[in-house]
Amino acid sequence: MVASNQMSPGLLAGDAMYQGNKGMVNNYLSNDRKYRPEVTAALMGNIDVETGGSFDYLQEQSGGGPGRGLFQLEGSKKESYNNYLNDNGFEDSPRAQLDYMHETIYGDLQDEIGRGNAAKLRKIFETGNVEEITKAFEEIWERPGIPHSDRRLASAKSFINES
Q: Would you write out the chain's pLDDT as a tens digit for each of its 163 residues?
A: 233 333 323 333 344 455 689 999 999 999 999 999 999 999 999 999 999 999 999 999 988 889 999 999 999 999 999 999 999 999 999 999 999 999 999 999 999 999 999 999 999 999 999 999 999 999 999 999 899 999 999 999 999 877 5
Cβ distance 69 to 58 under 8 Å? yes
Give CA–CA dist 147/54, Å, rounded: 18
Cβ distance 70 to 57 under 8 Å? yes
Task: Sketch the domain layout of the chain as residue ranges.
Answer: 43-162
Helix axes 9-27, 37-50, angle to 10 degrees: 140
